Structure 1
Amino acid sequence: MGSVLRTSMYLTCAANKLTKHTSTAQDRLDYLDFLRCHIEGLKENFPGFIQPSHHLAFHIYDNLELFSAVHHIWCFAGERFIGRLRDIPINHKIGEFEGTLLHSTCKGSAFRRILRRSDCPPLLKYCGQLINKVYGLSKLEGETGESDNIETGQLVETLQKSGALPNQLFQVSTPRELILLLDESTTSIQCYRRCLTPFGNYYAIPEATGKANSYVCFFPDGDRQAEWAAGQIRHIFCENGKTRFAIRRSHPIASPSNKQDPFQLFWNQGFQAKMFSSLFSNELELVEYDWVLAHTARWELCPGKTVCLCLK
C-alpha cells in the first residue's frame, strides 16, 4: 500500500511543479525527478503497464526549457474562448456567424456606455464594479470613475430595496448551542451562513450551499508554529465587530508513536495533506478569523480514515 501511495504521490508532485505559474530551473529538475520516480513505481507495482504517454511526458521538460511555464502554451484559454463563441446563438444559419459576433459585441459596448452615464442607476454602477473586480477588467479610456464615488447611503438604500444586501441575505438566527458556548447573557452576536475569505472565496456552514466550504484547516490557539488541525465550521458569527467561528475539530487517528503519516514525506513538495478520522468532535471550538489557514479537500481513503489536503 505504501509503495502504491508513493507512486501516486510522485505523479501529484510532478503535476504541482508542472502547473506553477512560474517555472525555475529547480522546478523543472524536480519535475523530471518526480516523474522518474513515478515511472519506476509503476514498473515495480504494475509490471507491463507502461504507455507511450509516459515517455512523452519526459519531453514536457524540453517545452518548459523553451517556453517556461505551461500556462504560456497550453490550450485551455483558447478552448474556453471557442466555447464562448460556440454558445452564442446563431439560429444555425450558415454565413451569419460573423454578424452575430458583431451584434453581441455592440450589445456589450452599449451596456458599458450605460454604466458610464451620469444618470445610471446606482445598483447598475455597483454591479459594474463587481464585474470589474471579478474579471480583472480595467476602466475604459475616458471613464471618469464616478461609479467609485456613489453615496454610501444611496447605495445601501438601493440594495436594501432590491434584497441584495449581503448581511441581510446571509444572516441566520443564533442557535442555542452557540449561545451556551459563549455566554447565556450574550445577545449582541449575529450569525451568518457564510462570509468572505481573505482570498475572495467563502467560508460557510454545512447548511449553506456548497458544504465543502465548511471544511477548513486552522492553527489551534492561533499558534502558527504548530501544525494545522482540520475541522468543520459549524457556526459563523460576529461579536463586537469581529468575525469568529465555532468549529468541530477532526479526530486524530490512533496510531503507534513510531508510525509516520504517509503524506508527511511530501509536505516539502507543496502537498500538505494529513490523515484524520472521518469523525468530528462533538465539542465546539472557538476559532478567530485569522487563525484559519485555508479550506481543505477531504477524501475518505477507507472507512473511518480521511485524508485532508490544505488548499492554500
Structure 2
Amino acid sequence: MHQGIPRPNIHAAGHVYDFLLLFGPVISWWCFPFEQLIRALQKINTNDHIGGEMESTIVRTVAQTANLRHWLRHQDCPKAICQLKVLFDKCFVPANAPSTCDNFIEQKGPQRAYVKHNSVNLSPCDTHAGNANIIYCPSASEPPVAGQIQRIENIHMPDGKHNDVHLHVRHYNSISKTLYDPFLWYPHLLVKSYSSPLNSKVNVIDLDDVVAHPACYDYSHGQSVLVNLSRA
C-alpha cells in the first residue's frame, strides 16, 4: 500500500467514536452476521447452475425461515403455536445458541456417525475406515493396543442435559511369530505390524481411553502396519 493514500477502512476507523454515540455497541451494527450468511450461501453446491430458479429458492427459504422465527417470538402468537415453538427450537438449534443454554438441547439417536476427540474425527469403520483406527487402553491395567471402531453409541445421562459416548472396538491381533516385522528395529518411528483380521472380542470404552489415532495400511500376507500419529 502506498503511504499517504487514504483508504476507506482507515477513513471509517476515524468515525468509530461517532458511530458508538449514534448507534450504541458495535455488536448492534457490525456486518459479521451478514458475512456469515453470505459464506453459508457460497458453500452451497450449485452444480454450476447460476442465475436461475435455485437462487430465488434459497432466498425465499431463508426469508420464510426468518419470518417464521419472528412470528413464533411475537406477542400475538397463539398459545398453541407457542407450545410448538419448544419443539421447533429443539429440532432447529440456532447456530448462535449458547452451548450451555438449557432451552436448546440437541437431540441425538442411539448411534452416531462420528465424534470429535482431541481435534480428531473418529468414525465407525462402515462410515469412514480411515477414521475408525485408534490406539486405546482396553482397561486401566492393560497396555495400549490398536483397534478399529465398530460402533459409536450415545449414552443418555440421567440429568438429560448431555450425552456420554461409548466406543465399541475390536482390536488388531499380533502377527504370527513366523512372520518378520521389519519395524521392530525402529521403535522411535512408532510403527508396528499387526494381523489384518480383527479379534472377535468387542471392547466398550470411553473417549478418555483413546490414546492416539494411527494411520493404517494393509501391505501383504494379511498384515497391516499402523503408524501412531500422536504429536505427544
TM-score, normalised by the number of residues in structure 1: 0.39
**Corresponding letter in the other structure for 1:192:** R
Matched, 1:234 2:154: no
Q: Give the superposition deviation at 1:161.
A: 5.3
- Name the CA distance, whole Å, in 2 between partners of 1:205 and 1:244: 12
Structure 2 residue ranges without an equivalent (≥5):
2-8, 10-25, 38-87, 97-103, 158-162
TM-score, normalised by the number of residues in structure 2: 0.50
Aligned residues of 1:276 and 1:307 also touching (Cα < 8 A): yes
| Structure 2 counterpart of 1:110 | none
Aligned residues of 2:124 and 2:152 also touching (Cα < 8 A): yes
* 2:208 maps to which of 272, 290, 293: 290
Q: Give the superposition deviation at 1:166.
A: 10
Question: Secondary structure, in 3 states, of the residue corresponding to 1:207?
Answer: coil
Deviations 1:152-194 (A, max 9, x none): xxxx9498256999955xx45xxxxxxxxxxxxxxxxx32111
| Structure 2 counterpart of 1:266 | 186
- Name the CA distance, whole Å, in 2 between partners of 1:167 and 1:303: 46
Distance 1:299 1:192, change over 3 A: same
> Within 5 A, what are the aligned runs for 1:269-280?
269=188, 271-280=189-198
Q: Give the superposition deviation at 1:212.
A: 0.7
Distance 1:166 1:263, change over 3 A: farther
- Name the CA distance, whole Å, in 2 between partners of 1:297 and 1:191: 24
Structure 1 residue ranges without an equivalent (≥5):
1-97, 99-105, 107-115, 129-155, 173-189
| Structure 1 counterpart of 2:120 | 201
Q: Give the superposition deviation at 1:282.
A: 2.8
| Structure 2 counterpart of 1:250 | 172
* 1:213 maps to which of 126, 131, 140: 131
- Name the CA distance, whole Å, in 2 between partners of 1:195 and 1:281: 23
| Structure 1 counterpart of 2:64 | none
- Name the CA distance, whole Å, in 2 between partners of 1:166 and 1:236: 20
Aligned residues of 1:216 and 1:231 also touching (Cα < 8 A): yes
- Name the CA distance, whole Å, in 2 between partners of 1:261 and 1:278: 14
Deviations 1:90-144 (A, max 9, x none): xxxxxxxx9xxxxxxx8xxxxxxxxx6326799x49x69xxxxxxxxxxxxxxxx
Q: Give the superposition deviation at 1:203.
A: 0.9
Identity of aligned residues (%): 17
* 2:92 maps to which of 134, 154, 160: 160
**Corresponding letter in the other structure for 1:253:** I
Distance 1:237 1:163, change over 3 A: farther
- Name the CA distance, whole Å, in 2 between partners of 1:273 and 1:299: 11
Q: Give the superposition deviation at 1:261.
A: 4.1
Matched, 1:310 2:220: no
Structural RMSD (CA): 4.1
- Name the CA distance, whole Å, in 1 between partners of 2:173 and 2:106: 33
- Name the CA distance, whole Å, in 2 between partners of 1:294 and 1:214: 11
**Corresponding letter in the other structure for 1:251:** N
Aligned residues of 2:193 and 2:224 also touching (Cα < 8 A): yes
Question: Secondary structure, in 3 states, of the residue corresponding to 1:250?
Answer: strand
Q: Give the superposition deviation at 1:232.
A: 0.9
Distance 1:162 1:291, change over 3 A: same
Greater helix content: 1
Aligned residues of 2:90 and 2:106 also touching (Cα < 8 A): no
> Within 5 A, what are the aligned runs for 1:40-189?
117-118=27-28, 124=33, 157=89, 160=92, 168=107, 171-172=108-109
